[in-house]
Amino acid sequence: LWPVAAETSVGWICMHMQGNPQNMQRAPHYEDVVGEVWEFLDARAATATGAGIGEVWIDPGIGFGKTVAHNLALLRDLDVLTRGQYPVLVGLSRKSFLGALTPNPDGSIAPAHDRLEASLAGAVWATTKGVAMVRVHDVRATVAAVRIVCDEVAGA
């Protein structure tokens, strides 16, 4: 969609996804997930910038063609993405990998509506790592959690 964004003078978000929605979760594989995602995003964002798009964001695509381990590696090393020239957006609210990290007592993956605490932890973590925007479902709770950590604790 970057050509459309360039043509219409709007901002554009470059998101990484291995495969397509029909096959992205079949067997995601990376030699170096952080490095490969970074290279993809940096190259695509540079192309879009070169085409005249003034506002380009990058999104590592948490949950899109990635295992739980891949998602955690990307979150752990978000500073690789945030030290670049493009602002970073992360959408991890209620993602299934969070349900796998916070399973039900019987070991099954927690349903989306039971992933609030994990979503808040992820949003706060991402923010402290320099992410400029988080996509969330629970706005009020996320704003409160981020403010407590970023404004009150870090600002203290």
Catalytic residue among 44, 135, 140, 147: 135
CA nearest to 91, candidates 67, 114, 58, 69: 58
* Maximum C-alpha span of the chain: 52
Q: Which residues pair with 56 in a beta bridge?
A: 12
Q: Is 135 noted as a catalytic residue in this protein?
A: yes
- The answer to whether the beta carbons of residues 76 and 32 sit under 8 Å apart is no
Output the six-digit token pair for 130: 């320099």
- Name the active-site residue from 66, 95, 140, 147: 95
To the query of whether residue 129 is one of the catalytic residues in this protein, the response is no
- Residues with catalytic function: 95, 135
